[in-house]
Structure 1
Amino acid sequence: MSVLMCVPFVGLILSIALLPLLTPKLWHKNYGKIAFGWLVFGAWSIGHFMSPETAVRSISHALVEDYVPFICIVFALYTISGGLRVHIHANPTPGLNTAILFLGAVFANFVGTSGASMILIRPFLKLNHHRSNRTHQVIFFIFAVSNIGGLLTPLGDPPLFMGFLKGVDFFWTAQHLWAPYTVTLGILLSIFYVVDRRLCEVELCSQPADHKINISIDGKIHFFLLLGVVALVLQSGIWKPEEYFHVLGIEVGRQNMMRDVGMVLLAALSLLMTPMKIRRGHEFHWEPFFEIAKLFLAIFITLIPVLWMMQEFGSHLTAPLTATEYFWLSGGLSAFLDNAPTYLAFFNLAGGDPSQLMMGKASILIAISLGSVYMGALTYIGNAPNFMVATIARNYQIRMPSFFGYMAWSFAVLLPIFILINWLFVGK
């Protein structure tokens, strides 16, 4: 293998990070073409440095086993959650804002960070429309709902779903990560409450005459469709019929085929039950999903040589990495390389055997899971919902920080929390 095979992946990630800042119009009009160009370059490099047969086989494997299941669950959760509309009628207070972030974080474990973000960000912003300082609210929303909140289930955050696809038990994450989840979310929401209350005092926010809160939800039937998604994911992890279909030369278990097809059918049912006219009234748009679909297709293909080299690197280590090293390395790369493929890279580096990682190497899998999920919040590109939430906030005329301005916030707030989490739960 040649290190030059990693150039397409590095180029793609740099494009995602820098082009929206340097040439935003060019990027937003042509990001699909740019991503496709890096994809073609990546496929060519595999065929050139390895062999055409290796390129076809490895790309087929990445598409069938990784990309298709990933995009099916994103499509299902995004589409079904788009049929839900939450109305919050209340006099907003720092306490209520904190409660919304908490509920959103918990909800993310069942509908994914993307789904929870799309359901709640607009009512959250509308609730606080009279506030002059709302930037911090969006930033903490990204921290809590779009990232950290999805730590407890494979449905919650893309890295954990990738682990589930590789064989990690569905309930393993909740069993082993509930303690760091509780501590992290408690500290983060406490900081948000203090900041929001202080800024409210500076703005001389009027105190509500009463504390009545009315919440209404349109499209409640979609909750049953979300339960259907949960059931499909669970059956694919529990039911093992040992029957296979062949797709592009790759064996696909019957339970996995049922999961992916079933999620697409549930999404289609959601679309039939809620016409696009109503969805547009909910400010539902397909562009965020298309962006994820195009960029992640290129990411999964160009990532192939990187995964190979990570495995090669792991086999030549004179001493295995510690849990602390896995936590910071996987987390640091998740912030800039997107957390789902980074999780896969370090999962493979740790051996790639789910049974060993769940048992004898549980501390390693905990470190990789925490690092990948948590530190995706450090940048706009660390997790799929981050940039979508920031874009929606800008549409509401909220002045959002630049790429590096956001990092100033995230490093100041999150890094001390991560250091504490490492000391309490990882570095032992």
Structure 2
Amino acid sequence: MLCIPFAGLLLCIAVMPLVKPEWWEKHQAHAVILWSLLFAIPFALFYGAPKAVETVLECLIGDYLTFIVLLFGLFCVAGNIKLEGSLVGNPKVNVIMLAVGTFFSSCIGTTGASMLFVRPIIQMNSWRKNKRHIMVFFIFLVSNIGGCLTPIGDPPLLMGFSRGVSFFWSMRLFPVLVLNMILLLTIFYHLDKKAYQKDITKGLMPEVKENEPLIRIKGAHNFLYIVMIVIAVILSGVLPKLSAFQNAAGEVIGIPIFKEVTLTVPAIIEIAIILLAALLSFKTTPKEVRVQNHFTWGAIQEVAVLFIGIFITMQPALMVLKSAGSGLGITEPFEMFWATGALSSFLDNTPTYLVFLTTAGAMHFTTGVATTLGVVPVKMLMAISCGAVFMGANTYIGNAPNFMVKSLSDENGINMPSFFGYIWWSLRYLIPVFIIDMIIFFL
């Protein structure tokens, strides 16, 4: 019963933009408050008010705060970088841009790469009418799949790193990434070629920019601030393991908030560095760069409002998963791949990853990757990692950059698929690729 508010909020996100778009745009926050209260009040009746307050605060302080600050920082810094030039959107150029953005995701995170490349992709294809598929495959590749090679790429891998998985271990996923890129970019090229020919047939033509370089970067100094943010993310995984940030009991030190809820010192350091990077980015970049980027706060506001409700209302589902994870009978790599992926499509992929990593670590394997949770076989750890990172692409809420890319696309007049419409895209193009992954890598 306590999972109903989570399902209700997801249903609102899926249906209301279709049936009452203007109302939904104005009242998203009210819907989030309503469903959050419908979770919190019954939870308090069942477990007591102190437990309810502790659960909500643990979610907000322990998870949501660093999550939204990271998104905010990357959104601000990327908004102050302007990529321009004579490149125009056509199938070959779009394939190259998606490939480059996909590899960048492992270097600066899926959120950073999404915010850096989404505006140039939109601008390059602004002359085209048939272009929603470009942004859908952008979400598939840049916002999700590309983040699998390093702990910087996606938060689940960072959690693995903080629990003993070596920093460069996830480079083992390179063959899986390359295969997925080849398959998805091949599909994309044929889709884009057909759409491109339709646009040309209708008389649409790109503006020819003479005497312009292929690529020119305005606000290039902001890459230093992206590096600052990346360092902050790495520190968030490294500092809690240092004795200087632990008390005598081995717990991470911090500011007590309520009962067991603590804002840790490593989290404070991470937040401070990210906010400083965002501030410096705005202070050192001319306003005209943001004007040329059509920078607005709409996308980050929508993500901040909706995801605070998602984080709060999904707590019962995560509690059930944590308590029942070891009893699900999932013991094979391919089962871990689909179980982790299916839940990561709708729940936060970080705790989902940790649940199945903990489950695998408790199986008493003797060979594989040594973690603080136990030894996990290489193939099983690969399956859990790929499921968590890749299948966040299955829905708009599977990973935060998905919704940000959708919002920015909507702002720029691109008619993106609805919530269920997007799932239909993932069923047609992603799931067959994941089946191939399973057959080749996880059986």
Is TM (by shorter chain) over 0.5?
yes
Query: 1-side partners of 2:97 and 2:198: how far apart?
Result: 22
Q: Which residue does 2:181 correspond to in 1?
A: 185
- 1:415 pairs with one of 415, 424, 431: 431
Question: C-alpha displacement at 1:391, in angstroms?
Answer: 3.7
**Post-superposition offset of 1:296:** 2.1
**Whole-angstrom CA distance in 2 between matches of 1:300 and 1:170:** 28
SS of the aligned residue for 1:89 comes to coil
Segments of structure 1 that go 5 or more residues without pairing to the other structure are: none
In the alignment, the residues of structure 1 paired with residue 191 and residue 393 of structure 2 have an alpha-carbon distance, to the nearest angstrom, of 19
Partner residue in 2 for 1:312? 323
Q: CA deviation at 1:226?
A: 1.0
176-185 or 379-388: which moved more?
Answer: 379-388
Q: 1:170 to 1:274 in 2, by over 3 A?
A: farther
Alpha-carbon distance in structure 1 between the residues aligned to 2:394 and 2:234 = 31
| CA offset digits 1:245-279 (Å, max 9, x no partner) | 22314345433331222212222222222365642
Against the structure 1 CA distance between its residues 421 and 129, is the aligned structure 2 distance closer, same or farther, given a 3 Å change threshold?
Answer: same
Corresponding residue of 1:219: 219
CA contact (8 A) 1:314 1:350 kept: no
In 1, distance between residues paired with 2:23 and 2:119? 27
Pair 203,276 (structure 1): closer, same or farther in 2 beyond 3 Å: closer
Q: 1:394 to 1:65 in 2, by over 3 A?
A: closer
- Please state whether the residue corresponding to 1:217 is helix, strand or coil: strand
Q: Does 1:238 align with 2:238?
A: yes
CA distance in 2, matches of 1:420, 1:315: 27
1:96 aligns with 2:93: yes
Please list every run of 5 or more consecutive structure 2 residues that lacks an aligned counterpart in the other structure.
247-252, 364-369
Q: How high is the TM-score relative to the length of structure 1?
A: 0.86
User: Post-superposition shift, 1:60?
Assistant: 2.8
What are the equivalent positions in structure 2 for 1:141-156 lying under 5 Å apart? 141-156=138-153
Contact 2:89–2:121 (CA under 8 A) maintained in structure 1: no
The 5-angstrom pairing of residues 11-410 of structure 1 reads 11-161=8-158, 167=163, 169=165, 171=167, 174-201=170-197, 214-239=214-239, 240=242, 241-243=244-246, 244-249=253-258, 250-274=261-285, 278-317=289-328, 319-337=329-347, 339-340=349-350, 342-343=352-353, 346=356, 355=371, 359-410=375-426
Paired residue type of 1:282: N
Question: Offset of 1:169 from its aligned partner?
Answer: 4.4
The CA deviation string for residues 64-94 of structure 1, in whole angstroms up to 9 with x for no partner, is 2222222221122111111111113135442
Q: 1:392 to 1:230 in 2, by over 3 A?
A: closer
Match of 2:341, as an amino acid? G
Cα displacement (A) at 1:100: 0.5
- Name the aligned partner's letter for residue 40 of structure 1: L
Rounded to whole Å, the distance in 1 between the matches of 2:44 and 2:358 is: 22
Q: Aligned with 1:214: secondary structure?
A: coil
Q: Which amino acid aligns with 2:255?
A: H
Secondary structure of 2:345's partner?
helix
Work out whether residues 76 and 266 of structure 1, in 8 Å CA contact, stay in contact via their aligned partners in 2. Answer: yes
Whole-Å separation in 2 of the counterparts to 1:302 and 1:411: 26
Deviations 1:172-202 (A, max 9, x none): 5633322211211122112222332344455
Query: Aligned partner of 1:247: which letter?
Result: P
Deviation string 1:18-41 (CA, Å, 9 cap, x unpaired) is 222222222211111211222222
Count of equivalent residues? 422
Cα 1:19–1:177 change in 2 (3 A) is same
The answer on whether the counterparts of 1:19 and 1:27 sit within 8 Å (CA) in structure 2 is yes
What CA distance in whole angstroms lies between the structure 2 residues aligned with 1:266 and 1:365?
A: 34
Distance in 2 between residues matched to 1:403 and 1:355, nearest whole Å? 37
Separation (CA, whole Å) in 2 of partners of 1:397 and 1:209: 23
User: Cα 1:82–1:108, aligned 2, differ >3 Å: closer, same or farther?
Assistant: same
Q: Deviations 1:24-65 (Å, cap 9, x if unpaired)? A: 222211111211222222222222111222223333322222
User: Partner letter of residue 370 of structure 1?
Assistant: C
Distance in 2 of aligned mates of 1:279 and 1:372? 34
CA distance, structure 1, for counterparts of residue 280 and residue 317 of structure 2: 38
**Secondary structure at the counterpart of residue 247 of structure 1:** strand
1:91-119 CA distances to partner (integer Å, 9 max, x unpaired)? 54422211101111122223333332233
Contact 1:88 1:123 in 2 (8 A): no
Is the CA contact (8 Å cut-off) linking 1:184 and 1:417 kept in structure 2?
Answer: yes
In structure 2, the CA distance between the partners of 1:403 and 1:259, relative to structure 1 (3 Å rule), is: closer
- Is 381-390 or 94-103 further displaced after alignment? 381-390
Residues 175/85 of structure 1: CA separation in 2 closer, same or farther (3 Å cut)? same
Q: Distance in 2 between matches of 1:169 and 1:280?
A: 43
User: Are the aligned partners of 1:299 and 1:341 in contact in 2 as well (CA < 8 Å)?
Assistant: no
| Local SS of the residue matching 1:220 | coil
Q: Distance in 1 between matches of 2:22 and 2:352?
A: 28
- For residues 111 and 330 of structure 1, do their structure 2 counterparts lie closer, same or farther at Cα, with a shift above 3 Å needed? same
Determine the C-alpha separation between the residues in 2 that align with 1:358 and 1:106. 31
- Alpha-carbon shift at residue 420 of structure 1 (Å): 0.6
Distance 1:420 1:267, change over 3 A: same
Inter-partner Cα distance in structure 1 for 2:374 and 2:298: 37
**For 1:5, what is the secondary structure of its paired residue?**
coil
Summarize the Cα distance change of 1:126–1:172 in structure 2 as closer, same or farther, 3 Å threshold.
Answer: same
Q: CA deviation at 1:362?
A: 4.6
For normalisation by structure 2, the TM-score amounts to: 0.84
